[in-house]
Chains A and B, each alone.
Chain A
């Protein structure tokens, strides 16, 4: 389990390139702005991952410039620093908590009490994977603020199990991110993107609540799948029952009840039922779900039932390395099939010309899928 946001879209190398460009452009003299340099930068930006890296480096460095206080570090401290950049700083800090005492020679601009508190909070924040909540008498005195959310994230290629301290299990599909935050009042999970199956250790007085998009799913003794698809959130109950609520703070989240024979803004689902909602409310009717197909991904299988080829490729791209481009027209072809996420993209890709009227073209940046009769120019515009 890669329990962090680490590998999201950019390796260190890409990040450095982004930083180089940022510096060069920030410092460039307007009178001598070289169009050739700008052109090279724009060519570099054409790559979506480069663009992401560049934008996130910009966000970070803009904030750094605004907030920089010009502090200097003790030269001895610098010279004797054992950190060598081979692990992430996050991991380094977990195993090497900094001493709490502030060095007097280099005064901080914060009162010592606050500093100690901050250090304590940081220490808690970076304690590896331990939840501080324990049922029992200590509840009343435990300050809420000291429990930061833990973030779990899976990379593109594999699903992962997470076992929570309360006995619940979460199975994250590939390319999923969620955060877990337990307070004495409730267990809160936020599904930021992707898809996960929750098997909840049911505790009547300690609600287990999954927030996904503009809605919340409250466990009523259950296992269920929550899938954040581009068009909305799909909830499928595989065991027991859940209740789906509008988010109380958001007027947009009013779940429309027209199609639902249930009380306002709350829908109750039981085993084998599914529902979908988006920011407008419930859009998919409550219906019987095919549990086998909703959970196929848990066995490394994904079922596509008339899904546009473009979406299929985007989904499969989470599991395989080769870059695949699809022309818009080919991207609209409906695809039916059960694909294994463990075989990578290869088999699926090369079988396409047999099942759909498409052909494959090798381009400089990857493989392009286009309609058989499409002129080659189309594949250029698709990005390959």
Chain B
């Protein structure tokens, strides 16, 4: 008697603590995996709900590991579902219940256009280093070998490309604010 509610209360408390300490990172992680803040929020909530529904006790560290794995799995599942639905050249929001304002659409389109043009302006070797690293996911030593440059140089090129792309986005944001 009473063991179940107590366990539940404990579980809730543990979850509250986990959410307090990990929510920010979990959202960042899910945004990387999904590219959408709204979707990241949803998945996080879904993962929390699964933890609450667990019917066996667990230490915080167990629950924590479970939370991250569950969230990652949900993200992968959703991606699979979505990829069959969307083959468009760009995505505004996958969440159909959310009707993006025309402003959001233009903003997003504008941002993508800025990044695309900035990528085109990257110096050739820098572009290639960036492509191998970011798109193909190679290690820096592999990038270095492919391009016959030092690993330090590969690092430099990728960092400079990131710096430049961010600069272009920042300037555009400032100009928009000015308008």
Which of A78, A96, A98, A188 has most chain B Cβ within 10 Å?
A: A78
Give the docked Cα–Cα distance between A62 and B134 (Å): 11
Residue of A23, A67, A86 near B137 (CB, 8 A) is A23
Residue pair B177, A190 in contact (C-beta under 8 Å): yes
A120 to chain B, nearest CB (A): 13
Give the docked Cα–Cα distance between A151 and B133 (Å): 30
Chain A residues with CB below 8 A from B35, complex form: 62, 65-66
> Could you mark each residue 121-162 of chain B with 1 if its beta carbon is under 8 Å from any beta carbon of chain A, else 0?
111111110010111010000000001000001011111111
Residue pair A42, B31 in contact (C-beta under 8 Å): no
Residue pair A151, B178 in contact (C-beta under 8 Å): no
In the complex, whether B115 has a CB less than 8 A from a CB of chain A is yes
Q: Which residue of B is nearest A35, CB measured?
A: B65
Chain B residues with CB below 8 A from A15, complex form: 159, 162-163
A residues 63-96 with Cβ under 8 Å of B?
63-74, 77-79, 81, 83-86, 88-90, 92-93, 96
Q: Which residue of A is nearest B71, CB measured?
A: A30
Give the docked Cα–Cα distance between A25 and B32 (Å): 8
Give the docked Cα–Cα distance between A62 and B169 (Å): 12
B residues 91-121 with Cβ under 8 Å of A?
91, 111-113, 115-117, 119-121
Q: Which residue of A is nearest B69, CB measured?
A: A33
B77 to chain A, nearest CB (A): 9
Residue pair A148, B175 in contact (C-beta under 8 Å): yes
Residue pair B90, A27 in contact (C-beta under 8 Å): no
A296 to chain B, nearest CB (A): 28
Residue of B22, B32, B113, B121 near A93 (CB, 8 A) is B121
Residue of A19, A66, A179 near B162 (CB, 8 A) is A19
Give the docked Cα–Cα distance between A15 and B65 (Å): 27
Give the docked Cα–Cα distance between A149 and B179 (Å): 11
Chain B residues with CB below 8 A from A58, complex form: 28, 31-32
Residue pair B169, A83 in contact (C-beta under 8 Å): no
Residue pair B125, A81 in contact (C-beta under 8 Å): yes
Top-7 shortest CB links A-B: A30-B72, A85-B156, A83-B123, A190-B178, A89-B164, A12-B159, A81-B125
Interface residues of A (CB under 8 A from B): 4-6, 8, 12-13, 15-16, 19, 22-23, 25-28, 30-31, 33, 35, 38, 41-42, 45, 54-74, 77-79, 81, 83-86, 88-90, 92-93, 96, 98, 118, 122, 148-149, 151, 177, 179, 181, 188, 190, 192, 211
- Pick 5 A–B contacts, CB within 8 A, sort by A: A23-B133, A25-B29, A30-B73, A65-B35, A65-B134
